[in-house]
Amino acid sequence: MATNQSTELLFSYGTLQHPEVQLDTFGRLLEGDDDVLPGYTVDYAEISDRRVVDLSGTSVHPIVRATGNPLDKVVGKALRVSEDELDASDEYEVVLYRRTSAVLASGRSAWVYVSA
C-alpha cells in the first residue's frame, strides 16, 4: 500500500523542534530551515495531556496568536514533513491548537499550529 510522500512544510516554534518529540511523533529527526512567522505573537498554554507533558518534559507550551501586525513575528523552523507525518503532528497537538496555513517571512507557505 503506497503512502503519500509529497513534502509539506510545518512551521514549528516549540516542542516539535525537540529531537525526542520528533522521534516519538514521526519516527525520525526532521530536516528544516530557520524561518519567521510574521503577524503573530507567542503566548503560553498549560497542557494537561499527560502523554504530551511526559514527552515534551514540560506542561507549559508556547502557542501563537494572530495579531495582524507585520511587526510582530515568531522565530522558528520550517520542517519538511510528509502528509502522513502531518497527520501524526495533528495527533500530537492538543485541542488548544488548530492547524492553519500561513506565509512565512521567506515567502514559503507552511502549516502552523495556532491558538484554537
pLDDT digits (tens, 9 = 90+) for 28-47: 999 999 999 999 999 998 98
**Fold annotation for 7-115:** Hypothetical upf0131 protein ytfp (3.10.490)
User: With helix as H, strand as E and coil as C, how does the chain read?
Assistant: CCCCCCEEEEEECCHHHCHHHHHHHHCCCCCEEEEEEECEEEEEEECCCHHHHHHHCCCEEEEEEECCCCCCEEEEEEEEEEHHHHHHHHHHCCCCEEEEEEECCCCCEEEEEEEC
pTM score of the predicted model: 0.87
pLDDT number for residue 47 = 86
Domain coordinates in residue numbering, the chain: 7-115
pLDDT digits (tens, 9 = 90+) for 56-78: 898 898 999 999 998 999 999 99
